[in-house]
Amino acid sequence: MMRRATAADLAVLARIHRVAYSSSHFTALLGDSALARYYSYFLEEPCEIRLACSGTGDRDGQCRAVEVVEGFAVFGEGIPGRIAQFKQECSADILITALRHPLRAAQKSVLAARSRMARRDEYPPAGFLLLSIAVVVPRRGTGGRLLRATLEAARSRGADKVGLYVNSDNVGAINAYFAEGFVIKDFWAGQFYMEAVLD
């Protein structure tokens, strides 16, 4: 069962983010309130956060309080603008996190600087992006269901393609994206940009 996330789910999203992402993701180092704020930027159209819940829902499609959120997907249009807005409005939280984790912050900065210096013309990303899929327990099919739900949402909104960025060392996710028709189009700052054309 799946449903759209609301502001009441932000604390759950932050907890799942911590489980799903290692410290190699800078966002996993943010405090719970900063992570909840981060996800709040994607709750409204044209973005969406879709939850995968265990068990069955009640008649109006809501997860019951006793059910467990197994994962979520963040997708939609305008994703880069929402990320930029978060970085601008929450710069103090980001700075505090960088000061608490100087080695990780330095590694991220060096990687970004190297990529900018070696940059050629960037492949233009799709208007509809999959920002992330995060699951509590991997390899149980939750990520696949969320990926297929994302592709269906893109089709229903009239998108002709879906793009995403994935860390180059995330072999499991890359293979799952290949299986759903995504192809690698670009590489930047340790991430592949992948894209799928929708039928």
Pairing of strands 191-197, 183-188: antiparallel
Q: What is the pLDDT of residue 30?
A: 85
Q: What residues in the chain have per-residue pLDDT under 50? A: 57, 59
Q: Could you tell me how many residues make up the chain? A: 199
- Walk me through the domains of the chain, giving residue ranges and CATH numbers: 2-197 (3.40.630.30)
Token digits of residue 182: 């995504």
pTM for the structure as a whole: 0.85
Token digits for 177? 């994206």
Contact partners, residue 169, CB within 8 Å, separation at least 6: 190
DSSP H helical ranges for the chain:
10-20, 32-40, 79-89, 91-100, 102-117, 142-156, 171-179
Separation between Cα atoms, residue 76 and residue 131, nearest integer Å: 8
- In order, the DSSP letters of 45-96 are TTEEEEEEESS---TTSPPPTTS-EEEEEEEEE-HHHHHHHHHHHTHHHHHH
Express each pLDDT in 11-44 by its tens digit: 999 999 988 887 667 777 888 899 999 999 999 9
For 115-154, b/e burial (b = at least 16 CB within 10 A) is eeeeeeeeeebbbbbbbbbbbbeeeeebbebbbebbbebb
Name the burial class of residue 88, with classes exposed (0-12), middle (13-18) and buried (19+) by CB atoms within 10 angstroms of its CB.
exposed
CA distances from 173 to 34, 78, 143, 152, 159 (A): 26, 23, 9, 19, 22
